[in-house]
Amino acid sequence: MASALTTAAARCVAFTGGGTAGHVFPGLAVAAELARRWDGRIVWIGSRSGPERGLVEAAGIPFRTVPAGKLRRYRSISNVTDVFRILGGLAASLGVLAAERPALLFSKGGFVSVPPVIAARLLGIPAFTHESDVDPGLATRINARFCERVMVSHAGTVDHFPPALRDRVLVTGNPLRAAFYAADPAEGRRVAGCAAGDRLVLVLGGSSGSAFLNGLVTPVAGELCAGGIRLVHQTGDGKQGASGVPGCLVIPFIGAELPHLLAGADLVVCRAGANTLAELAALGRPSLLVPLSAAGSRGDQLRNAEVFRAAGAAEVMPEETASPAALRDRVRVLLADSGRLAAMGKAARGLAVADPAARIADLLIARLGGAGDR
């Protein structure tokens, strides 16, 4: 149904999502592709306290704040107080959308996205949502009921939705920044300090680092760096790594160099967040995955990792069996088998979807009537 707020003068698309950086980076990739091809305004609706404000404003996108309450599947007294935050978020979202008059709302998920999506439905504004993980989170499950389109990263995700909603679901892949498609492995190896013939192991703990991964890598970093192996260890701000170990480069946060380092890595040791796995697939890199356990999450990383393991794109080391010695031995075995690494990289690339950000931008522009194409 056409929105009462959609006019030729509106020329605005609103984005929403946040709570973690993982809900922001894919949305920014779509926003950048949309801005390249469409000349309307883009605004972002997010929480006051999440990481999204800094990331969005750094990308030059106007940011509008709304209250956010966390959605939980378990009993907690916070569920009571957060009901009022969610209602406040709905009221604020109605105000923001009425003021901005967007032609369309694109949600990247997270608990902050639910009130704007519901508000869009109440105002007759068409909404799309995207899910990065193999199995949709609670926010996406709610949003799907109010959205025209539900975009997912994996074909198997479709079956996680009720039959009545599956005709809305479209597999687009997980959007990545354009920099990942222009990554230069030689530049990555230069940043890592690799000499000719060195092998590069890249350890990633996600945008904020992983204390658990740091605890596995740091005690054996010296052993891992023997015999022509360079180690780049992203620890996260304020977290400890193997500083001072010859052959090991410790970096709290990897910014613009990340695509190049990933492209140049012989092996990536990392968590199994959806964005990291999409980057591995796009660049065809073999990996040793240490997914966040079900004890510390809803189990989404375990299911993400299983897709890569089943495809032959990665080996998986569960937290319950992980130790510094086990990690050291597994890395050594993998690096000694170049054929296996090549096969894993090829399998990872087979899981990639061609340019998801462009595919999603195509859908948004089509829904906007194609107006404003550059």
Domain definitions of the chain by residue range: 12-174+354-367, 179-350
Q: Across the beta sheet with 104-107, what order do the strands follow?
A: 63-65, 41-46, 12-16, 104-107, 127-131, 149-152, 169-171
CA torsion sign for 269, 259, 265, 343 is positive
pLDDT band at 373 (very low <50, low <70, confident <90, very high): very low
% of the chain surpassing 90 pLDDT: 81
Q: Over the stretch 231-274, which tens digit does the pLDDT of each residue have? A: 999 998 878 787 889 999 999 999 999 999 999 999 999 999 99
Task: Tokens for 365, please give them.
Answer: 């522009």
Residue 6 is predicted with a pLDDT of 41
Topology of domain 12-174+354-367, CATH: Rossmann fold (3.40.50)
The reported pTM is 0.91
Q: Which long-range contacts (CB under 8 A, 24 or more apart) does 235-241 make?
A: 235/205, 235/209, 236/205, 236/206, 236/208, 236/209, 236/210, 236/211, 237/208, 237/209, 239/205, 239/209, 239/211, 239/214, 240/214, 241/214, 241/217
CATH class of 179-350: alpha beta
Alpha helices by DSSP H, 245-299: 258-264, 274-283
Joined tokens for residue 130: 């995207």
Average pLDDT value over all residues in the chain: 92
pLDDT of residue 242: 77
For range 4-17, the mean pLDDT: 69
Left if phi > 0, otherwise alpha if psi is -120 to 50, otherwise beta: which for 220? alpha
- pLDDT band of residue 363 (cuts 50, 70, 90) is very high
Q: What pLDDT, on the 0 to 100 scale, is given for residue 80?
A: 58
Task: Check pLDDT > 50 for residue 295.
Answer: yes
Residue 29 near residue 22 (C-beta atoms within 8 A)? no
- Cα–Cα distance, 146 to 140 (Å, whole number): 10
Domains 12-174+354-367 and 179-350 share a fold: yes
pLDDT tens digits, 23-57: 999 999 999 999 999 999 999 999 988 899 999 99
Confidence tier at 354 by pLDDT (50, 70, 90) = very high
pLDDT in tens, 192-219: 999 999 999 999 998 788 999 999 999 9
Looking at the predicted structure, is the pLDDT value of residue 68 above 90?
A: no
Tell whether the model's pLDDT for residue 72 goes beyond 80.
no
Predicted local confidence at residue 197, as pLDDT: 93
